[in-house]
Amino acid sequence: MLGLPELEMAGTVAAYVSVGTEPATQGLIFALWKRGTYVLLPVLLADGDLDWASYEGPDSLVPGPRGLLEPSERRRGVMSITSADLVIAPALAVDGTGRRLGRGGGSYDRALARVGPAVLTMALLYDGELVDEVPAGDHDQAVRAVALPSHGISRLG
């Protein structure tokens, strides 16, 4: 991931702190931060939307709702994702058109709807999670790429 040109050139990356069995993101977030990338991480709001705050190292993460780790820094607002040069979103599965299966809350669909069409949006997956089709509704937002352990980065769409 760190060698991806869009990630190397990104001044701001919106990412997430993985939980449970999701592909680990903590090392990637730390590496981006150490090389000077401004990393935005989500803060889950009561209505299910996502606010964003800056990552300032491992000690800046605090427990949040639903077992999440969130940044303790000042919140930047739900629209701050629009400043990201690259967005990394969680997914349980993604199909060849980029439709992603999330956990059903719609938080990332709302956030991804705010991201411009020129910004690379991607999901980190395990092998086998790039599937033929995922159920999708009109509100569901697609990602433009996936990262897989065996195939690296694949563009979709």
State how far the Cα of 42 lies from the Cα of 109, in Å rounded to an integer. Answer: 13
State how far the Cα of 154 lies from the Cα of 157, in Å rounded to an integer. Answer: 10
The b/e string for 91-127 (b: 16+ C-beta within 10 A; e otherwise) is bbbbbeebbbbbeeebbbbbbbebbeeebbbbbbbee
pLDDT at 2: 85
Q: Which domains does the chain have, with CATH numbers?
A: 5-155 (3.40.50.10420)
Nearest to 157 by CA among 113, 129, 120: 120
Q: Strand pairing of 61-63 and 50-54?
A: unpaired
Full-model pTM: 0.94
Q: Interior CA angle at 123 toward 120 and 125, to 5°?
A: 150
**137: confidence class by pLDDT, cuts 50, 70, 90:** confident
Q: Which amino acid is at 53?
A: A
Across the range 19-39, mean pLDDT stands at: 95
